Structures are given as C-alpha cells and as structure tokens.
Amino acid sequence: MSIQQLHTLEDLEQYVAKSGKKLLFKHSTTCPISAKANEEFQAYLKDADTAAAVVLVIEDRPVSNQIAEDFGIKHESPQLFLLEDNEVRWNTSHWKITRDAIKEAVNQ
C-alpha cells in the first residue's frame, strides 16, 4: 500500500476525515531515530492494508504543528498516530515505533 505524503492543511483534513483506521507518521528526515522508525513503519505496511500517510516535520512544519493542535498531543518526532473516526486511538514515538507495536495497535 502506498503512503500518502501530506503537504498542506487541506491534505491533512481530507486524510483525517477518511473512514476506517489509518496511520499517520511524523518523520524527520534529519534524525537517525526517525530513520529507524520509518524502516519499521515501512516494514509494517509491506504486509498490511492499513491506509498510511507521512508528514515531513521540517519540510511541512505547518501541517506537523496542526496535528499537535488538532489532537492535543505534544509534538514529537518521530511520532506515529493511529486514527479512526477523526480521533487518535493510539500514538507513540521514538524507539517505541516498531512493526510489532503498530501491528498490535491496529489489530486491537
């Protein structure tokens, strides 16, 4: 399944409004921890059919900030959210972003 990249607030709004469970990953292209988290995220998606989107926190800072504001969750990066019905069902960050953790959260 391909990962949608969210560049604008409109992209974010449309993505969040989609039905079903979906993953939203905040990725820093300059951070080694984020690089590792991204590998885990990609590994999970290889075998999954969960919708997924990424926001590059440096390149698309306004979108990244809006996520923190909309969901009332302090910005971290890397950070991963599981969304359903316009709400955050689960979120985690840094080294806790693993393929197994994602799988477990999505299957709950």
pLDDT of residue 8: 98
87-93 and 79-84: which strand pairing?
antiparallel
Note whether 33 and 64 are within 8 A (CB).
no
Residue 33 burial class via C-beta count within 10 angstroms: exposed 0-12, middle 13-18, buried 19 and up:
middle
pLDDT of residue 1: 61
pLDDT of residue 26: 98
pLDDT of residue 2: 79
List the chain pLDDT tens, one digit each, 108 residues. Answer: 679 999 999 999 999 999 999 999 999 999 999 999 999 999 999 999 999 999 999 999 999 999 999 999 999 999 999 999 999 999 999 999 999 999 999 999
